Structure 1
């Protein structure tokens, strides 16, 4: 059973360096300046504040995103997407049957406290 796994790494060199925390989507609207269809999201990370993100979660209507809990990487450098500075990367996977980069978000099975760290 062949796989294309990346080389083994130590947690202290990777996961422990990333600040991945739980947030709640406050708003989702199409971002017209993005090069591909994408939403501009406002996400509440509790004591870590409200952050903006631009992501290709367009397989979901905005009403399905608002109120959902999502995981985001808070300590990546902001990335300019169109006219917007995307401050946080929301963790997702490619949506089934969709173009490359079109994603669905990862969310916890149970509600968690906003700002909780992934471990």
Structure 2
């Protein structure tokens, strides 16, 4: 049986409004002040600047996260996560067989240019 999807939306009223770009994680450390273990990542988006993001990518070791290319939504408002604030949403999907909310990255398959726009 096929599961129902969300209603159809127009490209111009949805996806076209998002500024999703390639960034590189330049710093990463475990953040323990959040409700669940989270990584604090500084992500470089080239000419678009560096942003701090907090995300539950902790099934990946720190050394695997540093220098990784990621996709981030640059034009969402900053989001409070307990005592910390995430400036950019790094895209991810559920990590296989991990607890709810634990993610793995959505990343380019090749060494894409920092700041490149997702389309």
TM-score using structure 2 length: 0.96
Deviations 1:24-65 (A, max 9, x none): 000111111111110000000000111000000000011000
Q: Which deviations, in whole Å up to 9, do the C-alpha atoms of 1:41-99 show, x marking residues without a partner?
A: 00000001110000000000110000110000011110112332100000000000001
Aligned length: 119
The Cα shift of 1:21 comes to: 0.4
> With structure 1 as the length reference, what TM-score do the two structures score?
0.96
CA distance in 2, matches of 1:84, 1:53: 10
SS class of match (1:13): coil
Question: Which structure 2 segments of 5+ residues have no match?
Answer: none
Runs of 4+ in structure 1 deviating by more than 6 angstroms, as ranges, are none
Match of 1:55 in 2: 55
- 1:70 maps to 2:64: no
